[in-house]
Amino acid sequence: MNKFKLFIIIEILLLMLLGISLVRNPFFLIVLGIGLFLGYLSSRVNSWTAQKILQQIAIGFGVVALIMFVANGYTWLALLFPVIAAILFWKSSGTTYTSVNDPRAFRSEETSFERRAIFDNQSENTVSRLSGNDVIDLGCTTFQSTGNDLTIKKASGNTKIIVPDDVAVMLDVTALSGVIKIFDDITKVNTEHVRYMTDEFGTSDKRIRITVHVGRGNVEVVKG
């Protein structure tokens, strides 16, 4: 499970705990219910004076309900967790070196480069992170008869994909801002969508479909 999925799961759990905590607080429900009822009632009466009085009372109950909501500990956990997660993602957003199916996978403590297999399990072929630079090396990939799929998702950062000479590629890149360079054939600057496919993709025994989604960053595909 990647970090982004873990973040989503934890955030959903925090929001569920917040909801359960509020629902189990009868005083909060009563205050919120009265405030909503008075707000609705103010829109139904014809007297302007009565409307203003009901609206002011409804706002008062709403403020009390808001204070109780803010005072709930799960509210702060749900708000602060994304900030803490973003800081941790930002600190760990160095260059990641991914060597696909490399049996010598390792992480060096002296550098920011990392090798990890992403095609060992065909159901987990996605590189997803908030930001950072990535180098994807397909040199040790075990190619399937039906072809392989690789998806790269991130908000920002550069991506370099190293493709062996005998591998056919279908590439689909979505980048809001950045330079896209493919085998010295296609170079697009500040583009949103680029598609590319090598001529031998339909007949090659080794082929891979690569999908890249990046908000801001350069994407480069090279032979190697």
pLDDT recorded at residue 190: 74
pLDDT recorded at residue 124: 53
208: pLDDT strictly greater than 60? yes
112: pLDDT strictly greater than 70? no
Average pLDDT, rounded, for the chain:
79
Cα torsion 17, 19, 24, 25 to 10°: value is 110
Mean pLDDT of 64-92: 82
42: pLDDT strictly greater than 80? yes
pLDDT recorded at residue 129: 74
pLDDT recorded at residue 35: 92
Mean pLDDT of 16-22: 91
99: pLDDT strictly greater than 50? no
Q: What pTM was estimated for this model as a whole? A: 0.50
Mean pLDDT of 42-57: 88
- Residue for token digits 């708000």? 79
Mean pLDDT of 116-129: 59
Question: Between the ranges 80-84, 85-89, 136-140, where is the mean pLDDT highest?
Answer: 80-84
132: pLDDT strictly greater than 90? no
Binned at pLDDT 50, 70 and 90, residue 28 comes out as very high
pLDDT recorded at residue 106: 40
49: pLDDT strictly greater than 80? yes
111: pLDDT strictly greater than 50? no
Whether 178 and 219 have beta carbons less than 8 Å apart is answered as yes
Residue 71 exposed, middle or buried by CB count within 10 Å (0-12, 13-18, 19+): exposed
**Which residues contact residue 72 at a Cβ distance below 8 angstroms, ignoring those fewer than 6 apart?**
18, 21, 22
pLDDT digits (tens, 9 = 90+) for 146-169: 888 888 888 888 888 888 888 888
Binned at pLDDT 50, 70 and 90, residue 34 comes out as very high
- Residue for token digits 């010598």? 104
